[in-house]
Copies of this chain bind each other. A is one copy, B any other.
Amino acid sequence: MRLSQLFTKTLRENPKDEESVNAKLLTRGGFISKVMAGVFEYMPLGLSVLNKINNIIREEINAIGGQEIFMSVFQNHGVWAMTDRWNEASGVMYQFKDNTGKDYGLAFTHEEPITVDASRYITSYKDLPKAVYQICNKFRNEPRAKSGLLRGREFMMKDLYSFHATQEDLDDYYEKVATVYMRILERVDVSAVRTFASGGMFSKYSDEFQVLAEVGEDTIYINEKENRAVNKEVYNDEVLSDLNWNKENLVEKRAIEVGNIFKLGTRFSEKLGLNYTDENGDKKPVIMASYGIGPARLMGTIVELHNDKNGIIWPESVAPFKVHLIVLDGKNKEGDKIYDDLKKSGVEVLYDDREDKSAGEKFADADLIGCPLRIVVSEKTLEKDSVEMKKRNEKDAKLAKISQLLDLLNR
């Protein structure tokens, strides 16, 4: 992509009403654009990052048999009334009537409709287990929404639902998902702690995936030896005794919850009639679990963890482009050639070909946007048939022969 043609420009001013580092840097870099509190749009650079996060999630969830679907925002009042959640969740679920008096809810999660769907297709033990997931926007009536992508009123979620005949089968799959969640977080360069949390109305505990960060809204108590933690919301003597943990070995930290997985049991299948017939011909409710991870919140978390005073430092796995190529001294003809060669060999390049910007402005934009590798073509480097290469997370630049550039990058 040529910066001269990119839809966005970097902005000088920080966004109003946003205090968080992620909102400031992502807005100034042209990754996101604000619509209202807690509601953001993804511009080309931002969508590129989001798609990379989503595709890592897809790869990992597909590998454990998840089948991708795409559900609706609009939720059916009648179905949510059957599980009592139309009323119970009315604080977080946007609900309204159209001009004929018909009720609409906006999805903040999808347990109800997926259970209805499953009841259309699952009838026998032979149909189990199953796992389906989607990546789509969710809506949540948040009183406060001032943390950029960390807490949105409209936000992207990956939600996975699994269906089982036995508790053992569910327990096995649940652990598989927990392992895969840790791998996803590792792949996007975010190190998380699996954390015991409230199971809400479903079960004793759920598991959260918490990323240590001062900006986080959660407080957790970490057992560093086991790399596990307990959320403050269930931090009490009963729970600690359950886990056989000693208070004195736990460290209190602030953290961002980027994922949460729940054993739902038969909470939804019983109310919505999702049953299967077992080997003996007996009808039983299907046992369910649900698993959420927030790609948008992850994107914000990555920025909170990976930045310096000049801008974002994207991990290579989710960077909008691998290379930020800058041409100086009007050497656009030479820059164009390198840009074309890199593109042809499959390297993702953001190319600053702008003729009306100074070297200083171009370097500042490269630091702000934060691609992993900066390559500069200038009169000085060309005299040595070279370009200057500098990693975003390192200080020193070095010269590299143009003839060896592709080899270096594909190493």
A120 with B70: CB separation less than 8 A = no
A69 vs chain B, min Cβ distance (A): 5
Bitwise, A318-355 to B at CB < 8 A (1) or not (0) is 00000000000000000000000000000000000000
* Dominant SS among interface residues on chain A: mixed
A76 interface hit (Cβ, 8 Å): yes
A283 interface hit (Cβ, 8 Å): no
A30 vs chain B, min Cβ distance (A): 7
B69 with A35: CB separation less than 8 A = no
A275 interface hit (Cβ, 8 Å): no
A154 with B74: CB separation less than 8 A = yes
Known contacts A67-B6, A72-B41; is-contact A98 B50 (Cβ 8 Å): no
Bitwise, A82-118 to B at CB < 8 A (1) or not (0) is 0000000000001011110000100000000100111
A121 with B9: CB separation less than 8 A = yes
* Distance between Cα atoms of A303 and B269 in the complex (Å): 33
Residue of B nearest to A47 (CB): B70
A113 with B35: CB separation less than 8 A = yes
Instruction: Please list 30 pairs of residues, one from A and one from B, whose beta carbons are closer than 8 Å in the complex, sorted by A's number.
Output: A6-B67, A7-B69, A7-B118, A7-B121, A7-B132, A9-B121, A30-B121, A33-B116, A33-B117, A33-B120, A35-B71, A35-B72, A39-B74, A40-B72, A41-B69, A41-B71, A41-B117, A42-B69, A42-B71, A43-B69, A43-B117, A44-B132, A47-B68, A50-B70, A73-B73, A73-B137, A74-B139, A74-B153, A74-B154, A94-B104
* Distance between Cα atoms of A292 and B284 in the complex (Å): 47
Residues of chain B with a CB closer than 8 A to A96's CB: 94, 96-97
Residue of B nearest to A123 (CB): B9
Known contacts A96-B94, A154-B74; is-contact A113 B6 (Cβ 8 Å): no
Residues of chain B with a CB closer than 8 A to A42's CB: 69-71
Q: Of B30, B47, B121, B154, which one neighbours A73 at CB under 8 angstroms?
A: B154
Residue of B nearest to A37 (CB): B102
